[in-house]
């Protein structure tokens, strides 16, 4: 559901995009993974009665095609990949690629704290016809910087598929440093990075050291990160408002910084007040349930919000204009 205010603002962004691009001085600097610029949705994995809900997954893919989402990234953190067994993980990849049928790009999560497993999943994504692979850093192991390098290098050397690195120390327990990212950028198949350190200094260092396409891993930092060279976002909140997030990115790309800032301010409460209620993907699955677009079912150790938490999510959706 899109409010009239949001629609007017989005259409204004799109309506002047071509004229603004034509008026810009000089070409925009290109980065290596431009095919993944824009809005990638970190897709939830729908469950029903404890099992994968493939019909629900197909509906989500169709909806994002209709919304104009640039790319889908299933079986990542938002997709509860740690709770999926190997067969389920591969089934989700195959189902999303098949349903997408070339209508929308698909970059599934294929990372693991086991290099052998990351290799297997990335090979499967390649075989299934994915457009790329999103690879989170090895979690729990806390490798050295050399370990990070060898882990990603092993996959890049073995699988001819564009790779988007994913650095999120809050989940993995350790940080992949900009110098290591720059070393990995020497591999032609490593084309982008999802930066979720929350550090604009680190992002600036990466942009200075290599030409990888940088994508925000935090919804609320999309605009700040784009201001220092980022090219888009891998978004959680875009599970419910992909057009609005895309309008923010399009406005900034068009040089419409004031309009991009308006979108940032409008979206910020969803990113702060809703997504901050509990661990991802609990709030976004709750929102989808309240909007009638999913069961909201999670897998342990994740569990549903209590009454107070759900009321907070509901109120944020009401304030945004998505619910009455």
pLDDT at 192: 97
DSSP type of residue 25: S
Rounded Cα distance between 81 and 47, Å, is 12
Q: Mean pLDDT in runs of 10 for the chain (324 residues)?
A: 54 44 48 94 97 96 97 96 95 98 97 95 98 96 96 97 96 94 97 95 96 96 96 97 97 95 96 92 97 95 96 96 93
In degrees and rounded to multiples of 5, residue 26 shows phi and psi of 75, 160
**Full residue range of the structural domain in which residue 55 is found:** 31-254
Residue 18: exposure state from Cβ atoms within 10 A (0-12, 13-18, ≥19):
exposed
Rounded Cα distance between 287 and 12, Å, is 27
Domain assignment of residue 2, yes or no: no
Domain assignment of residue 23, yes or no: no
pLDDT at 15: 47
Domain assignment of residue 123, yes or no: yes
Domain assignment of residue 227, yes or no: yes
**What are the CA-CA distances from residue 136 to residues 18, 69, 102, 108, 240 (Å)?**
35, 22, 24, 11, 24
Domain with 93 in it: what CATH number?
3.20.20.70
Residues 6+ apart with CB under 8 A from 303: 282
pLDDT at 116: 96
Query: How many distinct structural domains can be found in the chain?
Result: 1
Domain assignment of residue 57, yes or no: yes
Helix/strand/coil (H/E/C) assignment for every residue in 225-285? HHCCCCCEEEECHHHCCHHHHHHHHHHHHCCCHHHHHHHHHHHHHHHHHHHHHCCCCHHHH
Region at 142 (left for phi over 0; alpha for psi -120 to 50; beta for the rest): left
pLDDT at 22: 39
pLDDT at 122: 98
pLDDT at 12: 52
pLDDT at 30: 81
Q: How many CB atoms lie within 10 A of CB 274?
A: 25
Q: What angle do CA 277, 267, 275 make, to 5 degrees?
A: 15
Which residue, chain included where needed, has tokens 């490593």?
A: 190
pLDDT at 17: 38
pLDDT at 27: 47
Q: Which residues are catalytic?
A: 166, 194
Domain assignment of residue 321, yes or no: no
pLDDT at 83: 95
Domain assignment of residue 191, yes or no: yes
3 state SS of 134: strand
pLDDT at 9: 56
pLDDT at 26: 41
Domain assignment of residue 160, yes or no: yes
């Amino acid at each position: 559901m899109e409010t009239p205010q949001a629609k007017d603002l989005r259409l204004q962004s799109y309506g002047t995009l071509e004229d603004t691009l034509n008026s810009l001085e000089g070409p925009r600097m290109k980065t290596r993974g431009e095919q993944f610029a824009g809005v990638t949705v970190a897709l939830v994995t729908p469950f029903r009665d404890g099992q994968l809900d493939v019909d629900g997954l197909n509906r989500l893919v169709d909806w994002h095609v209709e919304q104009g989402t640039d790319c889908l990234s299933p079986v990542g953190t938002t997709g509860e990949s740690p709770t999926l067994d190997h067969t389920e993980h591969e089934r989700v990849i195959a189902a999303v690629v098949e349903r997408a049928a070339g209508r929308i790009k698909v970059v599934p999560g294929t990372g693991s704290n086991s290099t052998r497993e990351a290799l297997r999943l990335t090979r499967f994504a390649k075989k299934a016809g994915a457009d790329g692979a999103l690879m989170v850093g090895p979690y729990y192991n806390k490798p050295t910087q050399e370990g990070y390098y060898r882990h990603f290098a092993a996959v890049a050397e073995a699988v001819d598929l564009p790779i988007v690195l994913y650095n999120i120390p809050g989940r993995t327990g350790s940080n992949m440093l900009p110098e290591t990212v720059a070393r990995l950028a020497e591999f032609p198949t490593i084309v982008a990075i999802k930066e979720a350190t929350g550090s604009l200094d680190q992002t600036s260092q990466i942009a200075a050291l290599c030409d990888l396409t940088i994508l925000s891993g935090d919804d609320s930092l999309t605009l700040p990160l784009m201001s220092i060279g980022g090219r888009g976002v891998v978004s959680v909140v875009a599970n419910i408002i992909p057009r609005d997030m895309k309008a923010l990115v399009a406005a900034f790309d068009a040089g419409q910084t004031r309009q991009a800032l308006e979108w940032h301010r409008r979206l910020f409460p969803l990113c702060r007040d809703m997504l901050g209620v509990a661990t991802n993907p609990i709030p976004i699955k709750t929102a989808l349930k309240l909007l009638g677009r999913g069961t909201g079912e999670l897998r342990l150790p994740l569990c549903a919000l209590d009454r107070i938490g759900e009321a907070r999510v509901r109120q944020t959706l009401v304030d945004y204009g998505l619910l009455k």
